Structure 1
Amino acid sequence: MALDKSVAELMNKQINEELYSAYLYLTFADYYEDRGLKGFANWYMVQVQEEVSHAKILRRYLLDNDVQVKMLAIAEPDKVFTDDLAPLLAGQEHERYITECINRCYAAAADVRDFRTMQLLDWFVKEQGEEETNASDMVKNMQLFGSDPKGLYDLDREYQARVFVAPTMPM
């Protein structure tokens, strides 16, 4: 069964959203790098890798379903940060937005009874739950401990330990 055109278009747009996420998180990493917070920078560099892997998963799915992928322009991030909490709040807001985008893709697939695409998107729905939880936890941790130099140091050290693990998807 060929992918519904509207589902394919939304999925193609989601590739762009994932690549924009990577681009946005690079700016977060740069902000923290400039601040000397290499652990926070590392956290977001791992996020960059995750977002690119998400785009690649969607790209592969479209190609495997004979859909021509169109690489769209990636918008320039417009965030300017004045404190260490600001990127975390922007990240939390962005993850909520991405969840909405995934939900739109899922709803479109459900409308046309595209169960294969829904199965793929089940993984993304679960992943977004984790992404939102991580973003929320980072905000809470910064609010609780970030104003204290020792607390900020400890958070930075914790975030230095994060490593990228390529996603494995049931297909």
Structure 2
Amino acid sequence: MARSRQSRIGRQPSLLRIKMIPSLTVVIGSMITALPIITDYPILPPLGLLVLLAWRLIRPSYWPVWAGFPFGLIDDIFSGQPFGSAAFLWSVIFILLETVDRKAVRRDYWQDWLIASIAMIIVLISGMLIVDFQSNLLRVDLLVPQILISILLYPFVARLIGAIDNWRVAS
């Protein structure tokens, strides 16, 4: 008994899949940083931020400028940073990205990587200074491994988000 398959031509993807997948991937990225990895220094990259930047740079008009705030609050819950620090910093990054998008005519892959790298450096250093400005001002060098891993991981995350985005909008 053969089952007939409906043609996928002309079908639209699920509205739930289109709307929920980007947000869900950012939340999962933020949750991964809550894994119990014990080190003396910060080494795990901010995966929620990496995923958020990848979505924002791949689909610039998908989220409004204020979207960094709620995602930052969710990240604050899982990261252990002072509540509101990621919400503030991610909002600043979204505002800066909006400014860059208005001034730039077109960006390529390398420029996106540079923009994401600068955004991650700003967020990581600012987050460390928010925790304790006095004692962390001279210890910014502790973040160098985390910054390098984050910068080198961005192309992989962007590629993964691109594949998820293709699946998300495919019929």
Q: Work out whether the TM-score is over 0.5.
A: no
TM-score (norm 2): 0.32
Q: Decide which structure has the larger Cα Rg and report it.
A: 2
TM-score (norm 1): 0.32
